[in-house]
Structures are given as C-alpha cells and as structure tokens.
Amino acid sequence: MRALSLLIVFVLAKLAILGGHSIPVSVWTPLAYFWQDALIALLFAALEWRLPARVTWSLYWTLSIFAAFNIPIVRAVSTPLTLAMLRAARGPLSDSFLVYITWQNAALVALTLAAAALFPRVLRRVPTRAFVTATLPIVVLGPIASARVETLGLHRNAVVAIIRSALPEISASASTEDWRTSHISASPSDDLSMLRGIAKGRNVVMVSLESTAAQYLSFYGGEGELTPHLTALARNAVVFENAYAVYPESIKGLFSVLCSTYPAFDSPPESYVNVPCPALPAQFAASGYHTSLFHSGRFNYLGMKAVIENRGYRTLEDAGDIGGNHNSSFGVDEPSTVARMLAWIDGLPRSERFFLTYLPIAGHHPYETPERGPFPDREEIGRYRNSLLYGDASLGTLIAGLRARGLDDNTLWIIYGDHGEAFGQHEGNYGHTFFLYDENVRVPFVIAAPGLTRGRRRVKRVVSLADTAPTILDLSGVAVPAVYQGHSMLDPSPRMALFFADYSLGMLGVRDGPWKVIYEIGSGRARMFNLESDPHEEADVSRSNPERSAWYTRIAQSWSGAQKSYLAQWTR
C-alpha cells in the first residue's frame, strides 16, 4: 500500500521539521498539522488505482525524495520550498546552502528515505478501502482545524506549498484611494521642511546596507557597537527611528528606492524592466551629475539588471567588473569595492558633481568575512555581528577617502538598511524574506550633511523606503516628479508605511504611528501590536481593537490589489 507508505513518509518528515518548534496544544493540533499530508496521500491512492505500477512507483519516489529534501530547508527557515525560493537558490546562494549540510540533517533525510523504501513492503497487504476510510475524515476536518490552530505555515505539505506558490494570492483591483493617509496627528518636532535644498550643489552618496535591521545598531538601542563609523556619522545627522522597507528582499526593495514605486505581489523583478519611472539616478543625470552604482555582489542575481539598467546610471559595476582579494558565491570583498569607487571619483573633474550608489554585500547570510571578528562565530548571530563590523569598516574607508580628497564638507550622505534580518525573535522567523516583524522590515535611515547637520535629530514619524528618492531630490534642490508614489520625508504630514512578503506565506503589513498590523492572506488572520507599549511585538491586541485592526487590514488589501493592477499594464 504505497499511499499509506507515502503518508508515513510525509508524517516522519513533518515530525523531523517540527522538532524544536513551539507547537500549540489543542485537540485540533494533529489534524491541523497533518491534513495536507493526508490529502496528497489520498490523491496518490486515486492515481495508484488508475495508473500503471511503473508510473506510480516513479511518482511515489519523486514525492518521497521531495519531502525528504525539504527537511533541512524547513528546519532552517520554517517554510517548505516555494517557487520564489527555488528561483532564488542559484549560484549566489550556494554558500548559504552549504552551511545547512550537517550530519543531523543528512541523517534525517536518510532515515526518511529509508522509511520510503521499507514501508511499501511492510504495508503491501493493507487494503486501499481501509486507508481511504481512515484518511478521508482527516482531510475533511483539516481545514476546520487549521482555522483554530495557528501553525505559521508549518502545517503545509511540501507538494501543496510549491503548487500554491505558483498561484496568485492577490487579485488586481483598481483603486484611487490614498493608502498612506495616517490617522495619527503630526508632531511639531517632526517638521523638517527647513532642510529643503540644504544640500543643493553637493555630491550625493547613497549607501544601502545589506540585511541591516535598525534594532541591532547602537544608536537605535542595540547591544554593542557594530557600526562605529556609521554611529559617528549619525552624531550629526537626521535619524529616522521608524523607517520601513517596502519588501524584505534586496532587489524589489531597490526598485522602490530608485523609482519611488511600490513593487507588486506575485511579480518577479524581471517584469519591471518596462515600468516607466523617472528614476532617482536619471533625475540627477539630467541635472548634470555623474552617476554610478557599485555593487560588491552580482547584477545577474534575481533580476537586478531589470531594476538598475536604463535608470540613469552611467557607470554600473558589480563583482565581475571590480574583482577583488576575496571571492565568495555572493561577490567580492568590500575594501576592493571601496577602492574602485574612490578611483571612479578620482577620475571625475573636480568641479563637477556626482551621485554615487554603493550596494555592499557584507551582512548577507552566511555572514562570512575574510578574517575572524571579535564576536563568537559558532552561532549565526555572532557571525552576523562580525559581518556588520566588517562592512562598517569599509564604510569608514569610504568616508575617510572623501575626507582626504576634501569632499566631506561637500557631500550629502544617505545611509539606510535595505531590509532587516531575523534570528528567531519570533517563532520560526529566520533570515529576512518570510515575515514582517520589525526585525524583518524596520531599518536604519540616516541623513548626514557634514557642516550643515549639527547634532543628532531623531524623527519618530513613520517613513518608508519608497520615500527615499523624493527625499534626496528635495534635499538636493532637484524637482521631485509628481508621479512618485513616495513622499519627501521632509514633509511633516504623518503617513503610514506599507509592506508585504510573498516568498512563503503571503503577508501584508501596515505601520501607522504606534500601531502595526500584519495580515496573513492564506489564513485570514490579522495581528495588531502597539509598538509604543510592546516594541517586541509580543501582545496581539487585534481582538480588543477589532475596528482599528479591520480598517488597517482593508487598507493593506486595497493597496496590494491596486498596486498589482497599476503595474500589470507594463508587466504582463
């Protein structure tokens, strides 16, 4: 009875995955976690009855191997493989995957495959009718159980997860609603309008820090000093305390920064190549600036070329152009990249302005550095801290390089995190792409103009990385295109931040003043937090504030549908 054997294989794989996770205790729990496994086994039983044995044997082993293959993946990132993850798992991620080839994971995979070989022989006399009779009630009651037990997606069968990931989760729906209008009153201390044009005629350096969440940095309350050079720069700067990435992944996040346009659900970056936008570098190029982007990684990763090419950068260089003293699957060392940027600056006429964008890879998993750092590297959080220190050292070299050239007092610095990074602060939350907690999407955002910004000014108002382009143009005295979806951060009007994740579970998020809502599309669950009283997002207050929670959820749904409709005209 291969259908029953397949179910046992699925169950064993699921048990290997659930070990170490906090599982809700309920009479519904077994049904919630295993009904999808039963569903696939039941469908296999139907095929086994109708198809030739050689075909069903091939299918049996394909499904068993796929279930076993998913064990180390789910143990690492708490989600079965999806098409978005499969698409990302190309050359630049090979170093990340190698760290999960452990003896423990290998043993769990081997045991699961051994069970797949053994049980068809042991259970060959079990009648199909008995299996169907026992399994059908589990499949029928399973969805009801899932509505009562919060599994955070760990209930998903690997086959169901990858099939569901091929289906759209958001429907396009046109809307003219202003999604970001806040219900929170403005604070007089957040008015930055006096900074408009403060950096007119200055060079502009924009640095997008890889996988850098605000909460780990000392001037955001983090433990230890991981970015001493950035901290020093931020002593005389405007620091936004509540800046949010639009999407917890670098490439589509970069699209929101350069084009001040939100990406859309279920859309790969390659589809944005034809989306018209007066991109930030193009605006500077039209104003007579030399424009460049230097990336320690590789432009061919996850469709980055579609986002950066033909956007106004006259110089585009990645790891392949730069070379370096240290290579990884992601790219080259940061010192080599900084040296290349300084050489580019040296090649420009001294009297002419430039807009330079720097995309380092320091901070990306697996957090490797050319030399060992001061933090213990047995755990990922220690390696991560070392990688932030390593990246900050190169930022310091860049700052010192401009100072040595007499350019520091004629430069505007914009430094932000492209997204955050999670280390289990919430159940199952590791890496950056899968959830929308603050460790995933709240990032540092620093504006520094040496000689003009004096003292550290903290701004509590909520802002979005989609606001980056209009803010930089506003600071530089360059006209801000009316088509931008973001708004200048110098505008005192309070606005909401909107964000989403679609790598695994489809999620939408809203931050408005102290309130934050995370909506899980598949389950229909919304969690709401008051971040003033609960900064670690531990107490869900959606039940005590049902109207507020429902309003924010509706705004998030309207925004995501409208943005998908807006981009569809160019991304079909």
507 falls within a domain: no
pLDDT value at position 92? 53
Residue 17 exposure: Cα atoms within 13 Å on the Cβ side: 31
Choose one of 477, 494, 511: the last residue of a domain: 494
Q: Tens digit of pLDDT per residue, the chain (572 long)? A: 789 999 999 999 999 999 878 888 899 999 999 999 999 999 999 998 888 889 999 999 999 999 999 998 888 888 898 888 877 765 555 555 566 678 888 999 999 999 999 998 888 788 888 888 899 999 999 999 998 999 989 999 999 999 998 888 888 888 777 888 888 876 766 789 999 999 999 999 999 999 999 999 999 999 999 999 999 999 999 999 999 999 999 999 999 999 999 999 988 888 899 898 999 999 999 999 999 999 999 998 888 999 999 999 999 999 999 987 776 657 789 999 999 999 999 999 989 999 999 999 999 888 888 888 899 988 889 999 999 999 999 999 999 999 999 999 999 999 999 999 999 999 989 988 899 999 999 999 999 999 888 899 999 999 999 999 999 999 999 999 999 999 999 998 899 999 999 989 999 999 999 999 999 998 899 999 999 999 999 999 999 999 999 999 999 999 999 999 999 888 76
For residue 518, CA distances in Å to 184, 311, 349 come to 18, 33, 49
**Do 97 and 155 fall into the same domain?**
yes
Domain boundary pick from 429, 460, 494: 494
> 283 and 358 in one domain?
yes
Domain count, the chain: 2
Q: Are residues 343 and 481 in the same domain?
A: yes
State CA 320 to chain mean position distance.
Answer: 25
Q: Which amino acid is at 567?
A: L
In terms of residue numbers, what domain contains 235?
204-494
Q: Are residues 425 and 322 in the same domain?
A: yes
Assigned domain for 95 exists: yes
**pLDDT computed for residue 328 by the predictor:** 62
- Note whether 218 and 125 are same-domain residues: no
DSSP string, 112-169: HHHHHHHHHHHTTTS-HHHHHHHHHHHHHHHHHHHHHS--TTTT--HHHHHHHTTS-S
What CATH number is associated with residue 409?
3.40.720.10
Q: What is the pLDDT of residue 378?
A: 84
User: Is residue 519, in this structure, part of any structural domain at all?
Assistant: no
**Cβ–Cβ under 8 Å, residues 295 and 359:** yes
Q: How far apart are CA 291 and CA 293, in angstroms?
A: 7
272, HSE (Cβ side, Cα atoms, 13 Å)? 31
- Round to whole Å and give the CA distance between 439 and 384: 14
Q: What is the pLDDT of residue 270?
A: 87
pTM of the predicted model as reported, rounded to 2 decimal places: 0.93
